[in-house]
Structure 1
Amino acid sequence: MEIQFLGTGAGQPAKQRNVTSIALKLLAERHEIWLFDCGEATQHQILETNIRPRKITKIFITHLHGDHIFGLPGFLSSRSFQTSSSDDQPQNLDIYGPVGIKNYVMTSLRLSGSKLSYRIHFHELDASHAGQIFSDETFEVHMSPLDHTIYCMGYRVVEKDKKGELDAQALKAAGVPFGPLFGKVKNGQDIEIDGNLIKAADFIGPDKRGRVVTILGDTRQTDQAIRLAIGSDLLVHEATYEASEAKIARNHGHSTTQQAAEVAKQAHVKRLLLTHISARYVGPLVTQLVKEAKQTFENSYVVKDFYEEVIQP
């Protein structure tokens, strides 16, 4: 599981930072990439990475402000061109977002005469959908409303625990022949060999805990963010302003570095990545943002465009 930031700026594109988009790479886990928000020129940012648009199977939109959705129609169209020209069958796409996201996408495609080679499944969400919004054998996703100037959400991605590994060498030494009996033990079933009971639990290691990533949209400091992020291995939180601009941040529905760090501390997360940075902060001023956050939560970092890291459990 890896995360890569395609845009880390607030409001409008700047020379140093494009507007918001985040790619959660689940290639090893499920051969997919999930995209969180799709600001203007996201597809141009993707060209600077090794991301293949046809691998993006889910898009999670936090809210309908332009700096989070203006890149969506273009990306969807380009993805269609790529899938239709490859050997792969076009993959359908799921889009999760606030009520209105379907109307926005379909109107944009209709007015531009754009036709897609795949289907889009829309999942429009409001406060009544708070909680689990997706689950399968490997992952689940939870949503919670936040506190912005329009309806906005955060998403918690939970990797399900993996079963412990089978100690094949020990099992073989215990006299169990390789074959169907191995499979039974691996599935947790006790077996009997020559009158001897082989307990599966003795040959299977402990379950491997799944990783948890919480990605928030724009928000004021709020307890809802704390509850959504509790115990996360990684928290992505906006930090549009420095600590001294708390009043401005609140008026505009945003957070400061210090407020984001307080959320991380109270949620007992392992690592905090700060994004959605105002264009006023460049050079040494970015260093100051990091220092402010670290005063409250040491494991804090301000990310820049194309920053990528492996998410550790």
Structure 2
Amino acid sequence: MKLTFLGTSAGKPTDERNVSSIMLDVRQERGGLWLFDCGEATQMQMQKAKFSLSKLEMIFITHLHGDHLFGLPGVLTTRSLIQNQSELTLVGPKGIKQFIQTVIDISYSCLTYPLNIIELEQDGLVFEDTKFQVETKLLAHRVPCFGYRVIEKDLPPTLNIKKLHKDNINTGSHYAYLKEGKTVTLADGRVIDGRNYHGDFKQGKKLAILGDTIPCDASIELAKDVDVLVHEATQEDALEQKAIERGHSTTVHAAMIAKQANAKRLIMTHISPRYSLNDNAKLVNEAKGIFSHTEIATDFATFQV
């Protein structure tokens, strides 16, 4: 999995940052792209980052504030210009269906592909297949806002071929059964337990992408033991009161959540327009005083999960 930040500004775009949007690239794992939030000009940012709308299969919206939402109509309708598009799933707080339907209706637009809309009203599991599951929890913001926990399922263990050959075992038609850890009987009468020939398994990655929030228990729960936590850090520590009043977190808040959740890595985003890129070092250093494995996102920055 790879994360690319398409927009990292809070509230409004600046000369250096577009508003909130993050692309999770799971093309290697399942052939698609997952978008988290969709601020204005997201489709332009996608073009610059060489992400094709044809590969977009899921969009997760944290909340219905404009800086996280206003790029969505353009993304959805432009995707209709691509022939033979597959179904797209849109997940977001209750009200997102009305928003999309209203925009489509009054702009005389249409969608040429099935759009599956899942409206969130409570915590729960919003997606699961054989490779991934996505959980969501309600955070603490001025409007209903959800954070997402993406869990890559562990890959099954490989077979230790060298050990099999050493024991003169020809896997042949038994390969699949041995890999599943089943017991098989060989032609020479030997009974073999597949579990005894399992190699290492690859542990799946865990990722938390949180929307706008003040520090809360749900943030810690979503970020528990994740490989990467993406957390807003709208203000510096000196402006804590201002951040809390507006439903936001500071650099220090984000670092405290990462530390309490035992996250391996923190990436801060949703930076107030009051800060330029020249302020990044200061903001990162504030957080590093609490949580050393802290980084700050800039537009088009890519991180391996």
Aligned to 1:294: 288
Identity of aligned residues (%): 43
Distance 2:278 2:131 in 1: 42
Aligned to 2:161: 168
Distance 1:52 1:150 in 2: 31
Alignment of 1:45-194 (within 5 A): 45-82=45-82, 84=83, 89-127=84-122, 130-193=123-186, 194=188
Aligned to 2:23: 23
Shift of 1:178: 4.3
Per-residue CA distance 1:40-75 (angstroms, 9 max, x = gap): 000010111121111111100000000000000001
Shift of 1:131: 2.3
Shift of 1:169: 3.3
Structure 1 segments unaligned to the other structure (5+ residues): none
Shift of 1:113: 1.2
Distance 2:127 2:46 in 1: 26
Equivalent position amino acid for 1:172 in 2: H
Instruction: Please provide the CA RMSD for this pair.
Output: 1.1
Per-residue CA distance 1:227-271 (angstroms, 9 max, x = gap): 111111100000000000000000110000000000000000000
Equivalent position amino acid for 2:217 in 1: D
1:259 is aligned to 2:253: yes
Q: Tell me the SS of whatever aligns to 2:81.
A: helix
Of the structure 1 ranges 242-251 and 199-208, higher mean CA displacement relative to structure 2 is found in 199-208
Residue pair 2:251, 2:287 contacting (<8 A) in 1 also: yes
Per-residue CA distance 1:177-221 (angstroms, 9 max, x = gap): 343112221121122231323221121124321110000000011
Count of residue pairs the alignment pairs up:
304
Aligned to 1:39: 39
Equivalent position amino acid for 1:155 in 2: Y
Q: 1:272 aligns with which of 266, 271, 277?
A: 266
1:234 is aligned to 2:228: yes
Equivalent position amino acid for 2:30 in 1: R
Shift of 1:276: 0.2
Distance 2:299 2:275 in 1: 14
| Structure 1 length-normalised TM | 0.95
Alignment of 1:197-236 (within 5 A): 197-236=191-230
Equivalent position amino acid for 1:118 in 2: Y
